[in-house]
């Protein structure tokens, strides 16, 4: 059963189970395997592109000076790697059109 407002791993495994007919355990293993492959690629510094869905992009952000909003004191923000998701044009069109 799908949680309201959130698509979970269990929801994905359940959809695989119902649509393809694999056992619940096999369906869950497929979902875990896909997520693991995506995580490994990102850990290795690769971007991940899923055609028709979008791209997970790694970006290195340089060090900069930030400001504490309460006190106004400048604070250095260290350089870091961030993960962003960019939806494909097809995904954007499906979301705007409502499915």
Superfamily of domain 1-46: IHF-like DNA-binding proteins (4.10.520.10)
What are the pLDDT digits (tens) for 26-76? 999 999 999 999 999 999 999 999 999 999 999 999 999 999 999 999 999
Which pTM was predicted?
Answer: 0.75
Average pLDDT over residues 82-91: 95
Domain borders along the chain are: 1-46
- The CA-based diameter of the chain, rounded to the nearest angstrom, is 59
Bridge partners of 75, per DSSP, are 66
Output the CA–CA distances (angstroms, integers) from residue 72 to 1, 44, 64, 77, 79, in the order listed. Answer: 48, 38, 15, 14, 21
């Amino acid at each position: 059963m799908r949680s309201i407002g959130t698509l979970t791993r269990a929801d994905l495994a359940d959809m695989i189970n119902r649509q393809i007919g694999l056992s619940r355990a096999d369906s869950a293993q497929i979902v875990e395997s896909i997520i693991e492959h995506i995580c490994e690629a990102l850990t290795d510094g690769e971007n991940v592109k899923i055609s028709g869905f979008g791209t997970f992009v790694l970006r290195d952000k340089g060090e900069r000076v930030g400001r504490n909003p309460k006190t106004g004191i400048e604070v250095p923000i260290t350089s870091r790697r961030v993960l962003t998701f960019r939806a494909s044009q097809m995904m954007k069109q499906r979301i705007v059109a409502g499915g």
